[in-house]
Amino acid sequence: MIVTVDGPSGTGKSTVSRAVAQQLGLPHLDTGAFYRAATLAVLEAGESPEDANTVTSIVEEADIDQVDGTIRLNGRDVTDAIRQDPVNRHVSAVSSHPEVRRLLVERQRRWVATHGGSAVVEGRDIGSVVFPTAPIKIYLDARPEIRASRRAAERDMHLDDVAEALRRRDHLDTSRAASPLLVPKDAVVVDTSEMKFRDVVDLVISLATRGA
Ligand code: DC
C-alpha cells in the first residue's frame, strides 16, 4: 500500500503522515528532506543553488538517504542542519531544476522499493509524479494565515517573517515548470484549517483503510 500525502508547508503534512505511518505500521518517507539535503550539499560546496549543471553534478555525487527517521548526507546525520535558515531560503531554487528532480525521484522510488514497497510518502509531487498509480492520495491544505501561525509557533519565530517566507516559497513551488505543487487529479483534498491533528490522522487512516 502506498499512501501519498502532498500539500504546502504548515498544513500538518509531516506530523500527520508520520502518525498515519506509525498507526498503519508502514515506513514513512519525507521527500522534502531529500531536497533539503541536496540544498545543504550545494551550500556546503559553496556553489550557487541557481546553477543547474553544477547543482545536478553535486546531487549526482551526493549520497542522500533517510535512515531510522534521520537524514544522512554522505553518511553524516544532517537532520537538524537541513531545517536551518540557509537551507529554507535556497531549497526552492535547488528543487526547481528538472535534472535534480529526476535524480531524487528515482532515489525516492528506490527507497520505498527497498523498504518493502509500502509506505506513507509525503511531499509536493508524490501523487502526481513519484507514485502516480498510488491507490490512496491525500492533499492537505489550510488557509495561508493558519499555516503561517502554525509554522511560527513551531519554530518560535515572528509571524510576519514566517508569513512572508511561506508566500515566497508557495509562489516558487507552485510556479516552477518542473512538477509544480498541484492537487493530483484523484486526490482527496483535506482542509486542515479548523481540524484537530488527531481528527486529520483519523480521517486519513479511514480513507487509507477503505482504499480512499
Ligand atoms: O516539505 P518541506 O518544506 O521540507 O520541503 C522543502 C522544499 O522541497 C519545498 O519548498 C519544495 C521542495 N519539495 C519538492 O519540490 N518536492 C517534494 N516532493 C518535496 C519537497
**47 pLDDT more than 60:** yes
125 CB within 6 A, ligand 1: yes
Counting ligand 1 atoms within 8 A of each CB, the residue from 18, 78, 91, 112 with the most, and so the one to mutate, is 91
User: Within 13 Å of residue 104, how many CA atoms lie on the same side as its CB?
Assistant: 35
The answer to whether the beta carbons of residues 160 and 210 sit under 8 Å apart is no
Task: For 135-184, write each residue's pLDDT tens digit.
Answer: 999 999 999 999 999 988 887 889 998 999 899 889 988 998 998 899 99
* Coil, helix or strand at residue 16: helix
2-6: strand order across its sheet: 28-30, 119-123, 2-6, 136-141, 188-191
92 CB within 6 A, ligand 1: yes
**Triad 110, 187, 126: Cα angle to 5°:** 20
Residue 211 confidence (pLDDT) = 64
Q: What is the pTM of this model?
A: 0.94
Grid cell in block for residue 97: 531544476
Q: Which of 10, 96, 88 is nearest to 51 (CA)?
A: 96
Percent share of the chain, pLDDT over 70: 99
